[in-house]
Amino acid sequence: MRKIILAMLCACLGGGAWGYEIQAQRLFSAGDGAPVLRIISTGDLELFAPLIIAFQAQNPNISIDYTVASSGALYAAIAEEGATFDVALSSAMDLQTKLANDGFALTQISTNTAALPDWARWADRIFAFTQEPAVVLISRAGIGDLPVPQTRQDLIALLRDNPELFMGRVGTYDLRLSGLGYLFATQDARQSDAYWRLAEVMGSLSPRLYCCSSDMINDIASGELLVAYNVIGSYADARQEPSDSVIYLIDYTHVMLRTALIPASAPNPDLGGLFVDFLIGPQGRAEIRSQTGLPPIDGAALAEFSHFRPIPMGAGLLVYLDQLKHRAFLDEWIAAMVQPEN
């Protein structure tokens, strides 16, 4: 298992190096001598900064150190390095579940955690604070009059029927780099056999593979990419991309739950607990919506759309992290997506 993660890390870093790579960091200081709440997160600093500030407004005597890393790096930091963070926020539900399962997370029990619906938490260790759907981003301008796909079948048909248009201009996560991408792909494979057909079709179109949603959004915006698959829809909304470019496929749309946990190696687990309670509490939810634009946990909103399918939390998420399974899946994905032409 570790080998896989390390491999992912190495790939991300493009070389062999111990330790995890920090993508960004900022200290929100509350003055000298104030206790420091250390957060490691996969979320963009610009996206989450307003939320941090809102928290600090509530707790002016706490300094916050916010570090951004990839989901793989975050996992390695906690599981292997024993890095001293008080809160770990990640969109990779499976990696978070593994951290919690393997004993790297502390339990947190409070009125706020009890108020969370059952599908938004697991084992009193992982707490979801956003529900973010995986969408298809389309350049409307790019596809012109072609029918906007509503289902994956539509998408497959669209791509297969217009190979010259879409050649080299379709994109999705590189599963070797993105933990979230792997999660989305494995869930897709579970959900429907259309996924592998889609993968094959995409694979034949020399797809671009990305580490992150934001890059895909950028490329769609610039027109380099015409179709991006499994983008985090809320990022696109947050960046105020034109709404007609965001497609929620109606056969099913997976909803990723961004989760928080308190690492076992936390130096200030009380501060971590305070932040977690804030995130999942009613005030936190309001701040998340207003400050970040991300959808907070809301069962009613999910129920509104029958095709929205939240990824289920639980030990099942560990299955695809099994090394044999992971290797087998990746092999198959590479065979489909990374075709000899590349």
Partner 1 sequence: MKAPRPSQSLRRRLLIQLLGVAAVLSALIYFGVRAIAEQAAEATQDNILGASATTIAEELGAQDGEIVVDIPYAAFSMLGAINAERVFYRIETDAETLTGYDDLPLPAIAPSLLAPVYYTINYRGVGLRVVALQRLVTVQDRPVVVTIIVGQTRNGHAAITSRVANLAASLGIGFFILAGLLNWVATERALGPVRRVALAVGRRGPADLSPLRQPMPRELAPLSTALNDFMARLRAALTRTETFIAEAAHHVRTPLATVRSQAEIALRLAETEDSRRALRAVIRAVEESGRSAGQLLDHAMVTFRSEHLEPAEVDLSEMLSHALRALTPSADIKDVTLQVSPLDTPAKVLGDQLLIESAIRNMLDNAIKYTPADSTVTISLGQVGGSHVLEICDQGRGLAGADLAALSIRFERGNNVADVVGSGLGLTIIQEVATSHGGSFTLAQMTEGVCAKLSLPCYVPA
Gap between the Cα atoms of 132 and 111, Å rounded: 24
Among 316, 334, 335, 342, interactor with partner 1 by CB under 8 A: 316
- Interface with partner 1, residue 328, by CB under 8 A: yes
Residue recorded with tokens 């907070």 = 296
Site string for partner 1, 74-103 (x = CB under 8 A): --------------------------xxxx
Q: Which two tokens stand for residue 131?
A: 């529900």
Query: For partner 1, which is the closer residue by CB, 101 or 292?
Result: 101
**DSSP notation for 245-278:** GEE--SS-EEEEEEEEEEETT-S-HHHHHHHHHH
Ranges within 157-196 binding partner 1 (CB under 8 A):
190
> What minimum distance in Å lies between the beta carbon of 101 and partner 1?
5
Helix (H, G, I), strand (E, B) or coil at 28: strand
Query: For partner 1, which is the closer residue by CB, 141 or 319?
Result: 319
> Pick from 250, 259, 245: which is nearest to 308 by CA?
250
Q: At what angle do helices 194-203 and 323-337 cross, to 10 degrees?
A: 50
- Interface with partner 1, residue 46, by CB under 8 A: no
The answer to whether 62 touches 38, Cβ cutoff 8 Å, is no
The answer to whether 86 touches 39, Cβ cutoff 8 Å, is yes
> What minimum distance in Å lies between the beta carbon of 315 and partner 1?
4
- Interface with partner 1, residue 315, by CB under 8 A: yes
The bridge status of strand 253-263 relative to strand 126-138 is: antiparallel
Query: For partner 1, which is the closer residue by CB, 299 or 314?
Result: 314
Query: For partner 1, which is the closer residue by CB, 166 or 252?
Result: 252
Among 32, 324, 340, 341, interactor with partner 1 by CB under 8 A: 324
Among 36, 146, 221, 318, interactor with partner 1 by CB under 8 A: 318
- Interface with partner 1, residue 117, by CB under 8 A: no
What is the 8-class DSSP label of residue 322?
S
- Interface with partner 1, residue 325, by CB under 8 A: yes
Site string for partner 1, 124-163 (x = CB under 8 A): x---------------------------------------
Report angle CA 82, 83, 89 to the nearest 5 degrees.
Answer: 110
Among 319, 334, 335, 342, interactor with partner 1 by CB under 8 A: 319
Q: Which helix (H) or strand (E) holds 333?
A: helix 323-337
Residues that bind partner 1 (CB under 8 A): 100-103, 122-124, 190, 312-320, 322-325, 328
